[in-house]
Amino acid sequence: MEILKYAIYRFGTMLLTLLVVSVLVFAIINLPPGDYLSNQIAELQATGQSAGVAKAEFLRQEYALDKPLWQQYMIWMGFMPGPHGFSGMIQGNFGWSFEFDSPVADIVGDTLWLTVLVNLAAVLFVYAVALPLGVLAAARARTWVDYTSAFVGYLGLATPNFLLALILFYYGHRWFDLPIGGLMDPMFEDMPMTWEKVKSILTHLIVPTFVIGTAGASAMMQRLRANMLDELGKPYVETAIAKGMKSSRMLAKYPLRVAFNPFVADIGNLLPSMISGSVLVSVVLGLQTIGPSLLQALKSQDMFLSGFVLMFVALLTLIGTMVSDVLLVLLDPRIRYEGRGA
């Protein structure tokens, strides 16, 4: 029950944070002088195309860009009626992308969940690889097991992602007949979900997951190893051995539980760093994730699109932090009982 209360409380603070973030995001995308439309109007006027100017002027009014900044924000968020009544983020209207000349929702549509999918797969990969290897490296510290895993890990950390991507594509295709580029076969794009489509997506996921996850996995592995080594020297480990515990069981029950905390706390950080880190990989691999759209939108000052993408990344981060906070409270009684008083 306590935990449910805490989760609700954390959800409330998350919403508040999101509100603050929205102000920041809006401020940041408005920091560069001008906006997409005024740039375009200036360009059109310079080349003397007055018809385009009229359309751009119409769009300016349509999207309330002629209003003061704070009103623009309120309209964008949907706290204030704009030219079309209440129609903002909270009403589910994400705005218009000037660059692509279509609603933001249509542009990001599919890529949203594909982004989540790719990054979730990468996070799972990170944990699945780093956990056993880190524990093994600590338990067999200063033996060949430790040195080999450290060597492979540093290789993973040091190899540029795009290079790794190219190598994996080449050999993956040659030896395992893995597809190259994209997140699904082109024939499935815009098709309804079928078993075939799922299979295609899964096979396309293998290489990107590996590429995006390697660096994170090796960093996490080394940290887990260091944490575990710290814990292994603690007296409670000796106590467990003195009870007559098998060392493998002891490792999993005692030191790992303690060493695990930082990794749970990391979930929140992992998501955004992977999304921003995977932009380059997505471009190289031709993944339909949100990263390339963000890059494009920021470059052309396509404010509603970039604003939406930034908000989305912020939301993912906040959800990640919330999940890790709630998990930590579940995992660690010291956090759970903190403040309960002695």
- The count of residues interacting with another protein (CB under 8 A) is 25
Stretch that binds another protein, among 126-134, 153-161, 199-207, 246-254 (CB under 8 A): 246-254
> If binding is defined by CB under 8 A, does position 241 make contact with another protein?
yes
Find the binder of another protein among 96, 210, 254, 312 (CB under 8 A). 254
Find the binder of another protein among 133, 164, 240, 290 (CB under 8 A). 240
**Shortest distance (Å) from residue 123 CB to another protein:** 24
Q: Find all residues with CB under 8 Å of 124, minimum gap 6, and list them.
A: none
Stretch that binds another protein, among 93-101, 155-163, 230-238, 322-330 (CB under 8 A): 230-238
Print the binding letters for residues 258-287 with another protein: x by CB under 8 A, - otherwise: x-----------------------------
Q: Residue 83 forms beta bridges with which residues?
A: 85
Stretch that binds another protein, among 21-29, 46-54, 176-184, 228-236 (CB under 8 A): 228-236
Residues 110-139 that bind another protein (CB under 8 A): none
Q: Could you say which DSSP state residue 83 is in?
A: B
Comparing CB distances to another protein, the nearer of 174 and 340 is 340
DSSP H or E run through 103? strand 102-103
Coil vs helix vs strand at 82:
strand
Q: Find all residues with CB under 8 Å of 109, minimum gap 6, and list them.
A: none
DSSP H or E run through 100? none
**DSSP notation for 20-60:** HHHHHHHHHHT-SSS-HHHHHHHHHHHHT-HHHHHHHHHHH
Comparing CB distances to another protein, the nearer of 166 and 326 is 326
> If binding is defined by CB under 8 A, does position 239 make contact with another protein?
yes
Find the binder of another protein among 15, 46, 47, 243 (CB under 8 A). 243
Beta strand 102-103 with 96-97: parallel, antiparallel or unpaired?
Answer: antiparallel
**Shortest distance (Å) from residue 256 CB to another protein:** 10
> If binding is defined by CB under 8 A, does position 234 make contact with another protein?
yes
Q: Find all residues with CB under 8 Å of 167, minimum gap 6, and list them.
A: none
Find the binder of another protein among 236, 269, 276, 299 (CB under 8 A). 236
Q: Residue 85 forms beta bridges with which residues?
A: 82, 83
Q: For the chain, how big is the Rg over CA atoms in Å? A: 25
Cβ proximity of 165 and 207 under 8 Å: yes
Residues 320-339 that bind another protein (CB under 8 A): 331-334, 337-339
- CA nearest 276: which of 266, 258, 289? 289
Residues that bind another protein (CB under 8 A): 234-236, 238-246, 253-254, 257-258, 331-334, 337-341
